[in-house]
Structures are given as structure tokens and as C-alpha cells.
Chain A
Amino acid sequence: MATHIYASLDENSIKSLNILSSDSNGIEIRIQAAKYIKNCIIGNKLKKKLFIDAGAIPLFVNILNKETDEDLLIQASSIIGSFGCRIDEGSQKIFEYNGVTPLISLLSSKNLKLVESAARSLKIVSLFHQPPPSIYDEQGVKLLISLFNHPLDSVKEVAATIIARGCESLFNQSSLDNMEPQPIEPNLINHSLLKYQNFVHIHSGLSTMISILVSPRSKIQEACLYAIGWLTRDNVQLSSYVVNDERKPLECIVNLFKKNKSPRVKLLAVNCLCNFNQSKILSTSFSHLIKNILPIIIRLMAEEETVKEEAPVVLARLIVDNEDFQRIASEAEAITRLGSFLKDSSASDRLKENSLTAIAVLCSQREDSRKQVVDAKIIPQIISSLNSSNYAIRAAACNCTKSLSRSIKQLRTSLFDCTIATPLLKLLDDPSLEVRVSASATLCNLVLDFSPMKQAVLDNGILQKLVQLIFEPHDFKIRLNCIWALKNLLYMAEPSLKESAMKELGYDKLIDLIKDHDSSISEQALAVLRNLAFKDNDQLVSEERFNGQMVPTLESKLTPSNPPEIIKQTLFVICNIVTNEKIRNSVMNSSIVNKLLHFMEHKHSDIRVVSIWCVCNLIGPDENTNSSVRAMKFKELGYVKKLESLVDDQNIEVKDRVKTALNLFKR
């Protein structure tokens, strides 16, 4: 059969193309020729391809640019639209020959049929490819909004759809920007989603669509829901504009969800509700509604392809940050349904990506959901998705592994067997920032002491990689995750591991990290030192190794202006390092000895606890090394008095510590 596909254009088609290429023919003949071509290509991919290969697109773009006869223009714009419909090379060629510009200028024509035809073709190009840049400038937005005055509903629908696609494509662009910085086109004033949304709103686009939405008409309501869903996405201001509008669009949206039979309308309505929910502008009574919505979204996953594909991501957005919603969704068999998409080889990339995203959210907090994932036997699919060539799938799979790795139980029972180590480490070099961040966060959990993957990860050269990323200046989150992972790796670690880690990192660099201007990095660096010093019989932590920099650095961290987390970590470090006699002496000769007194009355009870711990460790326990001299010094500084004032502290742990400390002084 394939030989027939090799067909060429028939005689009439070639004749029609020739008639249109020359200006010498009468207008009626040219219109008839255009109609002939139109009726050949509509619905017929093969014919479209043959005509495109014969150079039809530049021919018709030229007609759109130069022709004045409106009937011929109507035919030509329909033809351009059809070339852009369901065939990629068609829309690419239309962009290449700049066919979108004349379509936009035709929108201002007085001939309603011509406006309809041009608008429809623009919509097709926007849906199947990407919206033309000109819809983002002031003129474009105004033109689109003016289409809402067209008498035909179908033209209004086109306007709403193009505006929605405009937002959608800016949103997708911003996630692509994540991969590598892209130059912003200077002539596009609305290059961010937020700016574009607000721009459409200023020109009363949102208000117009609300009017259409609340008037009861089915198909155009769908397009308006689609557009309102995009105009209110991640936009608190416009979300509350809709929620508080006196025409009661919120009520209408809820009713559309409840009563409309179309699954797509239901999903689009939930999408709007989801935006309002995320903007935290809905009254608390809505949480009951959302609970009822959740099982229905899961049922929508059995509907037509476009609904099925988007439903998981709407679910994910609705339940993120709400454990109770996550429970309801899990109990409504969400994971089974999503898992079946991962196992289905015919599932589209988009469906896989969105399913993984939803699973990641479902498992982010709940152990029961993680167990459901194991029971659904989809771990192999998740791990193999880490190797996908599609960046969005890798990112989503990585978020899944991150959520799953939060389960201590699953880690211990080698939920992921060692096959995860290699792909995960590869993802630390992924072109996508999102993937790298997520991969580094997963690693944090995989290197914990009880994890069977720890050795596999180490064998794959994790130490070098982590240290390299800690010092890469590009992204704060990756640096933080990596130093966090290093801290976890060193928790109760063997001395040999500690030693290799310090060989890789370097003592000076650790001091630099403790001094990092970002307090979260500094906090983790202090925790690295704390883990290093824990039961440090091999004296990996010593003043010499740090070139005398350690105690002064810790001293500088103990100022009240530092955040409590930093103070707490610093005190923990001091607790651990003073078991070393030399270090203890230099601490005794530093201002730390004076500073501890203030922290014993800190408003955070855990800071009170560790500062007393520090005093205990500084005095005792080895009695033969002048512990009484040190005790005396503390007594002189007023520590015993302070401890006595804390005997009735409201915190039980502080009380216990105080008792221990006072006993040490009595010795």
C-alpha cells in the first residue's frame, strides 16, 4: 500500500496552483482554484503534505499579503489554517514564511466572514504549534479582545482560546528557561506570564470573559474557562478579582463543575478552583468542596485523552501542601490509576510526566501512599523514567524518587535497589536545573546511614561530585542540597569515610562554608563539622588541621544577631569538639566561655539545653585534667548562680541538664 502514498498531485491540483501563481487570471477563476485546493486539503493529511511540498504555503501567504479581494482572502486564510491543522511541518512553514502577520492584520477587517476565517486559522496555528509573538504586544492584545465584540460566538471562542494559549506557552517557556538561560526578545513587552495576564486584564479581557462565562452557553463557556484558568494561574490578584466579582463567576464555575456533563468542562472548572485555592483566597467552607472534587478528578482520568492527560496535574496542584487531601486522593485509588498509565506503553509522554508528578505529590508526606506505590509495583517504571530522553519526564520521575526516599522504612527495605545510584548521579549533571535540584534532594536521603544504597552511591564517586557542586555558584538550592547530602553521609560515619570526605573537601573550604553569607549553607556546614567531630578518636578535627581557624570562626558565630539555627548548630559543634583536650583549652581561652552564659537563658529551650551541655563537656568528665580549675572559672563567671535560677525551668530537658551540671560543680 505504501506505494500509493507516494502519490503526486493530480492534474486539477497543479492547474489550480498555476492559476493562483499568476495575477493575469480573473478573480473568479482564482477563487474557484483556491476553493478547489481548500476542499482537497481539509481533513486530508496526505494532500496537505503534497501541496506543502509543491510550495503552496508561500503562495497563499503571498496572497494574504497582497490580495485585496475579500472572497479570495477568506479562502486563502482558511487554507493557511488548514495547512496548520494536525500537521507539524505545515505550522512550521507558516511561521517560516511569516504567514501569521497578515492573519493578524486581517482581524481588523470590516468583513465579518473574513475576520472569522482569519481568527479561526490563528487559533489553529496557536493550538497546534505556538502562539505568534504578535499576540503579546499591545496591538495584538487589543485586537484579540476586540474579537469579543464579533457577533459570532465561534469568533469569541477563538479569542479566548488564543489568549489562553498565549499564557500557556509563556508558562511552558519559563520551565524551559530553567534549562538554560534564553535571550528575552526585547520587542515583547509581555514576556512573563504575570505581565501578560495583567496586561490582558488591564484591557478588560478578563472582565469580558467573565460576562461570557456567566451567560449560559456551552461551548464558549469552555473556552472562557480555559482562558480564565490561565489568566488566574499563579496570580493572586486576578484570582481574587474573579472570586470577588459581583457577577458571581465563582458560583458559575462551581456549578459548571457539578452540573456540566462534559469531562473537559469539569476539568477546566476544577483548574480554575485550583488556582483560587492556591492563592488562598477561598473561604474555609471550600475545603469540603475540594474533598468531594478529588475522587471525581480521579474518575476523569478514565475519560478522553486530553482530559486524561491533564487530570493528574490538576490533582497534584490541588493536593500539594495538604496531607488530608493527599489521603483522600490516595484512598480513592489515585495511585493505582496513575500507576496503570506508567505501565501502559501506549501512554503519551505528557500523560507519563503528569502521572509521575501526581505520584510525587501523593507520596510527599504520607507513608501509606508510598506503600501503595510499592504495592502497585511501579518502582521499576519510576526508576527507568529517570533515564528518559524527555527532560520533563526525568524531572517528574526524580521528584517521585525524592518523595519515596523520605520513607525510612522503604529505604531500609531497599525500596530502590542499587540500580538507582547510576541514573541518579547522572542526573546531577542534567541540563535541566529542575532535575539537578530534585536529584540532589533525593541523594540527601539515599546517603543516610541505614540506607542500603549508601555504598552504591559512594562507589559511584558521590564525594567528588558533591564537593564539586557545593562550590558551583549557579544555584543556591543545589549547593544547599549537596552540603546537606554531605552532612547526611558523614552522620555516624566510619573514620575512613570521614577522612576521604575531608580530603575531597579540604579544611579551609569547610571554614569558608561555615562563613558563607547564606545562613542555610552555613548551618549545614556547621552540621558537617559536628558530624566529623562526633566520637572523633582519630583526631580528624584539630586546631592544627584547621590552621587555628576553627575556634575563632565558631566564636564569631555566637553573636545574638545570628539566627537561632546557626547558634544551635555552633553549640552542638562545641559540644562535640571539646572532648579533644587541646581544643578544649583554646575554647576555655576564648570568649565562648563568656558567651555561653547568655545562651543559657535563650528563649528557645533547645538552645538552653545545648549551652548547658557545652558547659558540662567543658568541665568534665576527665577529672585528672584540671577540671576543677575550669569549674572554678565558670563559677566565677556566675554560671552556678545562673544554673540555680534555671532549676524550675518549664522545659523538662533543661531541668535535667541543670541537675547534671550542678552535680558536676559539686564534685
Chain B
Amino acid sequence: MNKKVISKKEWEEKLSEVNISKQDLNKLVMNFLVIEGYQEAAAKFQEESGTSSIVDLNSIADRMAIRSAIQSGDVEKGIEIVNDLNPEILDTNPQLYFHLQQQKLIELIRKGQISEALKFAQEELASQGEENEKFLEELEKTISLLAFEDTSKSPIASLLDHSQRQKTAGELNAAILTSQSQDKDPKLPTIIKLLKWAQTQLDSKCQYPRIKNFVNGEFE
């Protein structure tokens, strides 16, 4: 079977029939900048395109500061900023609060501050463990890190990986976005995935001006 051939001219004619408002495109860009945390770019974009963001742009900076605090091991600072931003986030999300406390415990263990770690676990985390069996289990697992002289030999050494910090930071970031009525992920990457999928579908049916490079929109 011969594939149908669509010329560049035909293709562009068809494209121009689809009505996409500039405003929607701008919103898409703003959505990406806000969620990914590009505060300055978002502010500039807002100024130039007139697209307003539905969140206070300063909160982007806060969100990024929270993320970097946790990724650098300063959980306490992260908690302080999030509580300034919106105290409800940690007050109504026991699991997230527990994970932050757990991360704090992990950081203490990482620094070898054993007695502080034990004190913290007893005074701050034990009561949460009593309220929730799942938390207790996770707490016990974390504490067992202390049983190894060389924590890297522990079967749960992964708790000390950087990826654990990223996981905690990601969970907190998602909760902040939800509290601001934002999606957890920007829309743009999903749309690009859809585009890729659609092209693969089309490839088997016809020849058309195919986008080769998604970054600069270059055709084949």
C-alpha cells in the first residue's frame, strides 16, 4: 500500500485551520515556568506577554528555597519556610510531616550525631509512630541505621542516598503546588509526549512534514 503524501503547503494550510489562541500558548509557557520554578523568567514573561500567573510569583522563590534547603540537608530551614508560606500544608498532611521529620532524623544519623538522633526520635517521632502503624514501621527501619557502624553496609543504606532527600523534597514540592491549586507537573512535557506519539502513529500511514527537532521545531 502506498503511503499518502502530504505536501508542506497542504500541511501548513491544514495547520492554519486550527485555531489556537496566543493567550493559551502563553498560559502554557507560564504554567511551565511557574511549576518548574523559574521565578525570574516567569516575572519577565509576565511583564512582556501580559500573561498573569495565578500564584504569587514570590512563592516560586520560596518553593525553590524549600527544595534546595532539603536537598542540602537543612530540613529545619525547609520546614520554617513552608510554615511561613502556608501553615496548613504540614498541619493537614500527617504523612508529609512525618517524612520531613524522618528526613531530619536521617540527617542527624548521617552527621553521626547519635545521641541527638535518639533524643529526636523519642521526643518528636515516637508519638507519631503511636498514632500510625505505617509510620512506626518506617521509624523503626530508620532507627535501625544506627545499628551499623558502617551505615553503607546496612540493607537500608539507600535512606542515606541523595535520592532520599530528593524524594522528600519532591513530596513537599508537590504538596505546596497542590495547596496553590497548581498541577504537580507542567503541561508542556505531556503535550510534547503526545506530539511524539501522534507522529509515530502518522508515520505508518502517510508522509508529511515531520518535526525532527522538538527544541527548535525543525522539519525533516
Contact = CB atoms under 8 A, between A and B. Distances in A.
A5 B178 CA distance: 33
Interface string B50-79: 000011100000000000000000001001
A360 B7 CA distance: 66
Contacts of A86: 91-92
Max chain B CB contacts within 10 Å: which of A10, A44, A45?
A44
Contacts, number: 73
B180 A42 contact: no
B130 interface: yes
Contact of B97 (A43, A120, A154, A219): A43
B127 A82 contact: no
Nearest to A41: B91
A81 interface: yes
Contacts of B180: 153-154
A650 to B, nearest CB: 67
B154 interface: no
Contacts of B94: 43
Interface in B13-34: none
A5 B92 contact: no
B130 A42 contact: no
B143 interface: no
A234 B88 CA distance: 32
A82 B87 contact: yes
Contacts of B93: 43
Contact of A42 (B55, B91, B131): B91
B174 to A, nearest CB: 13
Contacts of A120: 86-88
Nearest to B130: A1
Interface of B: 54-56, 76, 79-80, 83-84, 86-88, 90-94, 97, 122-124, 126-131, 178-181
Contacts of B130: 1, 5
Nearest to A79: B87
Which of A35, A42, A157 has the largest count of B CB atoms less than 10 A from its CB? A42
Nearest to B91: A85
Contacts of A43: 90-91, 93-94, 97
B97 A44 contact: yes
A85 B92 contact: yes
Nearest to A7: B123
B86 A154 contact: yes
A63 interface: no
A517 interface: no
28 contacts: A1-B126, A4-B123, A4-B127, A5-B126, A5-B127, A38-B87, A39-B83, A42-B83, A42-B90, A42-B91, A42-B97, A43-B94, A43-B97, A44-B124, A44-B128, A45-B127, A45-B131, A81-B87, A81-B88, A81-B91, A82-B87, A85-B88, A153-B54, A153-B55, A153-B181, A154-B180, A217-B181, A219-B178
Interface string A225-269: 000000000000000000000000000000000000000000000
B181 A42 contact: no
Contacts of B122: 4
Nearest to B96: A43
Contacts of B54: 153, 217
Contacts of B80: 35, 39
Among all A-B residue pairs, the 7 with the closest Cβ atoms: A43-B97, A219-B181, A43-B90, A46-B127, A85-B91, A78-B87, A42-B90
Contacts of A218: 181
Interface on chain B toward A: helix, strand, loop, or mixed SS? helix
A44 to B, nearest CB: 7
Interface of A: 1, 4-5, 7, 10, 35, 38-39, 42-46, 78, 81-82, 85-86, 117, 120, 124, 151-154, 157, 217-220
A124 B88 contact: yes
Given A42-B91, A43-B94, 5 more contacts: A38-B87, A43-B90, A117-B87, A124-B91, A157-B181
A57 to B, nearest CB: 16
B18 to A, nearest CB: 20
A1 B140 CA distance: 13
Contacts of A5: 126-127, 130
Contact of A82 (B76, B91, B124, B129): B91
A481 B131 CA distance: 48
A10 B56 CA distance: 36
A71 to B, nearest CB: 10
A151 B84 CA distance: 18
Contacts of A10: 123
B16 to A, nearest CB: 26
Nearest to B126: A4
Nearest to A10: B123
B135 to A, nearest CB: 12
Nearest to A5: B127
Contacts of B181: 153-154, 157, 217-220
A497 B131 CA distance: 59
A151 to B, nearest CB: 8
Contacts of B90: 42-43
A81 B131 CA distance: 22
Nearest to A158: B88
B28 to A, nearest CB: 13
Nearest to A215: B54
Contacts of B55: 153
* Residue of B56, B80, B88, B129 ringed by the most chain A CB atoms within 10 A: B88
A384 B87 CA distance: 43
A219 B122 CA distance: 37
A144 to B, nearest CB: 18
A219 B55 CA distance: 13
